[in-house]
Amino acid sequence: MVIHFVNDCSYSRSTCAEFLQLSHELFKTTPASYPVCLLPGDVFDPAFLSISAPSDDVSPAPSIDLTSLKSLNPLHGRISAINASKFFHLFNEEKQLHVAKALAGLLSAQPGSVICGYQVGTLEQGMVNTIIRGSKHQLFTHSPKTWSSLWDGEVFEKGSVKVETELVEIPLRVEQFFMMKWSVVRL
């Protein structure tokens, strides 16, 4: 099972239903041939996504009817891939840790299960000023070193995951600006 996180508070259940219908038309699938669920919610609301310790249970879990989900909590320990691109840098350091712990609780204990993303990064952890959609923002960013130590040792038990990071310089900016590709893989 795969989860993709987006930051758009304008999503509603009706908007999600419209996206699903359009995707089935575009890809010539049906809900039966390709079951998928778009679930809007607040990652900081424990009723939607609570923090749970990373699972160490690798046994198969019974299937869940995705259409009945009202929150992500029934999926703790069941997700094999999570994409959180352009997501973490929208939050301060404390909230980034909260989201990391919440996502870690969703991830399956199966070796190879992965959380990945792409976000603003820096050579040294700290605040970065940037323009997003025409507005100035100050973002808390991690360096590859601090991002790796966050996941391997703080969120997950040290040595239980492999963290890979790569800073990519974005040449379109006047000042030096980086995006960081990253993955956290269960061993």
- Taking residues 157-167, report their average pLDDT: 97
* 3: nearest Cα among 74, 107, 91, 149: 107
Helix (H, G, I), strand (E, B) or coil at 12: coil
- Rounded distance between C-alpha atoms, residue 154 and residue 173, angstroms: 33
pLDDT band at 4 (very low <50, low <70, confident <90, very high): very low
Question: Is 11 exposed, middle or buried (CB count within 10 Å of its CB: 0-12, 13-18, 19+)?
Answer: middle
Angstrom CA distances, 61 to 72, 75, 160, stand at 15, 10, 21
* SS3 sequence of 82-113: EECCCCHHHCCHHHHHHHHHHHHHHECCCCCC
- Taking residues 14-21, report their average pLDDT: 71
Dump pLDDT digits (tens) for 44-75: 999 999 999 998 988 887 888 877 888 999 99
pTM summary value: 0.83
Q: What percent of the chain has pLDDT over 70?
A: 89
Tokens of 15: 């908007």
> What element of type H or E holds 180?
strand 178-186
What's the confidence (pLDDT) of residue 5? 53
Q: Where are the domains of the chain?
A: 2-52+72-186
Domain 2-52+72-186 homologous superfamily, CATH? Vaccinia Virus protein VP39 (3.40.50.150)
